[in-house]
Each structure stands twice: as C-alpha cells, then as structure tokens.
Amino acid sequence: MSLPALKGPYWVTVRQHRRVLWVLPAAAVAGLAAVVALRVWAVDPDADGVMTQTPNHAYSLLRICMEWAGGVLLFLPLLVGAFVAGPMIARELESGTWRLALSQSITARAWLGAKVVVAAAVAVLGSAALAGVYRLGWSRVYGTYQFHWADRGPYEAGGPVLIGYCLLAVAVGALVGQLIRRTLVAMAVTGLLTGLVLLCLGALRWSLLSVETTTGPLSGSLAGRMPGSAMLVDSGYLTATGERLPGYVCFQRTHSLQDCPVDLNVIGWYTDFHPISHYWLTQLIETSIVLVLAAAALYAAFRLGRARRG
C-alpha cells in the first residue's frame, strides 16, 4: 500500500499498516470477480416462463453471497473505527512510540493528521468500491425476499451512506483512541458508538421524508393503491370524520377486511408509503447527517491532539 509520493508521517503510517490497508482493495477485487462469475453463471429460475427440474445453484449461491455481503458491509464501519481507534492510535499512545514521531520535528497535530488522512482515504475508496460491487450483485436479485431497496443491509451496503459511516468511524476512532489510550478498550468503545449511531439513524431514516398517502373506497384493493416497488409504512381504515383506524378492527368483529360494522363509520382505506424515488433522497440526507457528526468528532479529535503535550 506504500506509494513513492508519500513522505514523512504519511509514509510511516502506510508502512506500519500496509497489510491491513490492503484488505479493503483486495476484498473489492475478490468480490467483483465472484459477483461477475455468479451473474454470468446464474439465470432466473423461471426466466423462460417454464419451471426447470434442475435447481439453479448459481442463482441460489448468488443470493446467499449477497445476504452475507450485506451483513458484512453493515458492520464495516464498526471494523474501520475499531482499527483506527486501536492499532493506529491507542496502541501507539499506550506504548509511548508516538513520542518517537514527535522527536522527528513532527507536531502532534501532524502525527494525528497523517493517520486520519490515510485511514479516511482507504476507507472512502474501499467502501465506494465495495458498495459498487454490492450493487452489481444486488441488481441481479433485487425485488426478491430480503433484497428490497429499503431492507436493512441492502440499503446501507449499496449507497453513499456506507462511505459516510466509514468516515464517521474514522473520526470517532481518532477521538476515542486519544481519550482512552488502551487498544482493546478503545476498539470496543468505538465499535459501540458507531453501532449506536447506525441503529439510531436506521430507526429514524424513514422519518426524514414525508410519506405519500393514497386512499380509496372500502371495496377496492389495498395492494393496488401503491406502486409495487414502494415501501409500505402504514395502512388501515378511514372513517367519515377522517379518523384513522388500524387495519384489523373490522376483521376482529366480522372476519372480513371489507365488511365493517356500521358503528365504526368506515368509508375507505388509506395507505402510507415511501416510493422508490425516496431512496436516493433519504441516502443523501442521512449521509449529510453522518458527515456532520463526523466533522464534529474530527474537530474534537484535532483539538485534543493539538492540546497534547506529552
């Protein structure tokens, strides 16, 4: 991973961690080769409209690989942050080897900056490459079970949010590594903090944009009132006063979804959903939020680094 153009603390950082820094590029190349091979080999089970007697092993294998890949990429920011916080920063502070760098006319800020820049560059390029490879495979199985555009895993693995979370992990790792100065503890805390941000924003992301609502008469079909590619958020009954009732109230009393008791005064259905056009808007909004958090953590990390005297 070393480059002739790198000098000073940048060259030292790359030299120290060159084997680990090759992991993301190597994973992207290996993933690309595997996805291309499986896409060429795989065909849809009923692509010709006829059920085949021979199972499509390549298509099944592609699905399994994409399921695993989505889970691994979901945890990629945690691994990036743990590596930055532990081996890159906390281990040198814990062992005292960082003082050697300062004795070579390098400031603490330059020492930290080299590590952050190298880690961020590799994280951005590597995560972007992995996201591109994932989308190449995901497009082959899109729309099937667990591969909807809004599902946890495919959403994070195939868009710019993956890059944003990796940058956040680098910033949090740089801050936590300096604060804790214990390799294993810094790795654990950074992974925990990054994971909490992933969970919190994952729970809130579909509230960032307003849902679209469609309504119809009680006799109509609920499924026909939103695009097939949309993400269902909520559905139920509408009364004459505009009140919303849950979708099970009629079935509880009449055992029919379209036969409601008169006293409920139900006049139709409502459906709240996110259309597929909200995918990229949500990705960009969430990525922006994550980058703001990363900038705040990075600012705190450099303030701490500048204040360090020994």
Mean pLDDT for 239-254 is 86
Count of C-beta atoms within a 10 Å radius of residue 69: 23
Least confident of 46-55, 89-98, 152-161, 255-264: 46-55
Least confident of 36-50, 67-81, 103-117, 129-143: 36-50
**Coil, helix or strand at residue 52:** coil
Residues 225/214, Cβ–Cβ less than 8 Å = yes
Mean pLDDT for 176-204 is 95
The pTM is what? 0.88
pLDDT at position 45 over 70: no
Q: What is the spatial distance between Cα 46 and Cα 244, in angstroms, rounded to a whole number?
A: 41
**Of all residues in the chain, what percent carry a pLDDT higher than 70?**
87
pLDDT at position 185 over 90: yes
What pLDDT is stored for residue 49 in this prediction? 44
**What are the tokens at 130?**
């992995």
Question: Running DSSP on this structure, what letter comes out for residue 210?
Answer: P
Contacts of 216 (CB under 8 A, 6+ apart): 222, 225, 268, 269
- pLDDT-based confidence at residue 103 (cuts at 50, 70, 90): low
Q: Which helix (H) or strand (E) holds 232?
A: strand 231-239
Angle at 130 between CA 110 and CA 192, to 5 degrees: 60
Residue 154: which of 143, 165, 167 has the closest Cα? 143
What pLDDT is stored for residue 145 in this prediction? 85
Residue 5: what residue type?
A
- pLDDT-based confidence at residue 102 (cuts at 50, 70, 90): low
pLDDT at position 253 over 60: yes
**What are the tokens at 212?**
């679209």
What pLDDT is stored for residue 192 in this prediction? 97
Q: What is the spatial distance between Cα 183 and Cα 94, in angstroms, rounded to a whole number?
A: 7
What pLDDT is stored for residue 283 in this prediction? 96
The contacts found for 105-113 with CB under 8 angstroms, 24 or more apart, are 106/8, 106/9, 108/305, 108/306, 108/308, 109/302, 109/305, 109/306, 110/8, 110/9, 111/9, 111/305, 112/174, 112/178, 112/301, 112/302, 112/305, 113/9, 113/302
pLDDT at position 287 over 60: yes
pLDDT at position 1 over 70: no
What pLDDT is stored for residue 212 in this prediction? 92
**What are the tokens at 91?**
């281990």
What pLDDT is stored for residue 98 in this prediction? 67
**What are the tokens at 283?**
């990705």
- pLDDT-based confidence at residue 304 (cuts at 50, 70, 90): confident
pLDDT at position 7 over 80: no
Which of 47-56, 90-99, 217-226: highest mean pLDDT?
Answer: 90-99
Q: What is the spatial distance between Cα 116 and Cα 172, in angstroms, rounded to a whole number?
A: 10
Which residues is 234 bridged to in the sheet? 272
